Amino acid sequence: GNLIFGDTTTMTADAPMEYYLASLTKYKWMNRDIELETSPGITPMFYSKKSPISTVQWAVGLELALLIDDPWKVMITTDHPNGGPFINYPTVFAWLMSSKYREETMTGLNSAVEKKAILATIDRELDFNEIAIGTRAAQAKSLGLQETKGHLGAGADADIAVYDINPEVIDPSRDYKAIEKSFRMAAYTIKDGKILVRDGEIVKVVDGKTLYVNAEVGEELKKDVMKDIEYNFKRFYSVNLNNYPVQELYLTNPTAINIETKLE
């Protein structure tokens, strides 16, 4: 996950962690008890360019993406909103595609980034293909959805974002601000072949699919596993096991990903 400088919030079901962050930052925090084994919390967070911790965190995220040779092993994220809001992903893309932009950003950071990180020594710049893999294709493949998601070939769902960028004309290394601006708003957002957004304006609203995994296992193994789960629920949980599953009738356009595990 990459970090983006500025304001954001941290959000997790780990309430003690949120309480600790609130104590550390002196910011207000909010938590809520719900009918599950969690107590979610939200705490404001500010990642400062003057902070040695924030600057090193920023550098490490970029280093990781740039030092892994195989783009299929990189998935770009900020763990929204914890490392930064997803609306700032275009800034991350621009950093990854331009060493000049990284150098420019580093000039205003705490000196710890020079002492504790090696980002300044990395010349690699990702291209459009690698950005497409790291934001779409790799995720689809890791989830087992590569037949219908993450590509533009035959059989793929027509889920497409069209940007006002000509990769044959623009130089991301030099025109990083143009890259950042263009990725902030798709010219067209297409879902299942239907245009939903055109030039920032919503023109159609549809319900998407709710994907879930249906893993097939042997009946005997299933009985043994469920027996163990039921036993431990009664021992350690404060709610009933029946409170946990989400039945299909509550899902919008449920679509199962059927997997034969070959487990008996």
Written in H, E and C, the secondary structure of the chain is CCCCCEEEEEEECCHHHHHHHHHHHCCCCEECCCCCCCCCEEEEEEECCCCHHHHHHHHHHHHHHHHCCCHHHCCCCCCCCCCCCHHHHHHHHHHHHCHHHHHHHHCCCCCHHHHHCCHHHCCCCCCHHHHHHHHHHHHHHHCCCCCCCCCCCCCCCCCEEECCCCCCCCCCCCCHHHHHHHHCCCCEEEECCEEEEECCEECCCCCCCEEEEEEECCHHHHHHHHHHHHHHHHHHCCCCHHHCCCCHHHCCCEEEEEEECCCC
Of 76, 103, 126, the last residue of a domain is: 126
Average pLDDT, the chain: 92
How far apart are alpha carbons 12 and 10 in whole angstroms?
7
Query: What average pLDDT does the segment 12-26 reach?
Result: 87
Same domain, 76 and 177: no
Whether residues 238 and 178 share a domain: the answer is no
Rounded to an integer, what distance in angstroms lies between the CA atom of residue 102 and that of residue 199?
29
pLDDT at position 224 over 70: yes
150 within a domain of the structure (yes/no): no
How does pLDDT run across 165-206, given as a tens digit for each residue? Answer: 999 999 999 999 999 999 999 999 999 999 999 998 999 999
- Residue 12 has a pLDDT of 86
Within this chain, do residues 176 and 102 fall inside the same structural domain, yes or no? no
> What was the pLDDT predicted at 39?
78
Q: Are residues 43 and 120 in the same domain?
A: yes
Q: What is the pLDDT of residue 109?
A: 97
In a domain, 23, yes or no: yes
pTM of the model: 0.88
Based on the fold, state whether residues 65 and 112 are members of the same structural domain: yes
Q: Per-residue pLDDT averaged across 156-171, rounded? A: 95
Same-domain pairing of 93 and 190:
no
**Residues 96 and 121 grouped into a single domain:** yes
Asked whether residue 116 is domain-assigned, the answer is: yes
Average pLDDT over residues 43-64: 96
Q: Are 206 and 192 in contact (CB under 8 A)?
A: yes
Nearest to 65 by CA among 165, 140, 135: 135
pLDDT of residue 185: 93
Answer yes or no: do 87 and 181 share one domain: no
Q: What total number of domains does the chain contain?
A: 3
Task: Tell whether 163 is covered by a domain.
Answer: yes
CA distances from residue 21 to 40, 51, 64, 246 in whole angstroms, order as listed: 13, 16, 25, 32
Q: Does 134 map to a domain? A: no
Whether residues 83 and 99 fall in one domain: yes
pLDDT at 38: 74
Tell whether 87 and 107 lie within a shared domain: yes
Is 107 contained in some domain? yes
List the domain range (segments joined by +) for residue 168.
158-206
User: What pLDDT score does 35 carry?
Assistant: 67
Angle between helices 176-183 and 89-97 (to 10 degrees): 150
Q: Which of 126, 148, 178 is the last residue of a domain?
A: 126
Q: How far apart are the C-alpha atoms of 9 and 105, rounded to whole Å?
A: 22
Asked if residue 9 belongs to a domain, the reply is yes
Query: What residues are paired with 194 via a beta bridge?
Result: 191
Give the rounded percent of residues in the chain with a pLDDT score beyond 70.
99
Residue 158 identity (one-letter amino acid): A
Is residue 144 scored above 90 in pLDDT? Answer: no
Distance between CA atoms of residues 192 and 208, nearest Å: 9
Does the pLDDT at position 26 exceed 70?
yes
Q: Looking at the domain assignment, is residue 140 inside a domain?
A: no
Q: Are residues 60 and 179 in the same domain?
A: no
* Whether residue 52 sits in one domain with residue 76: yes
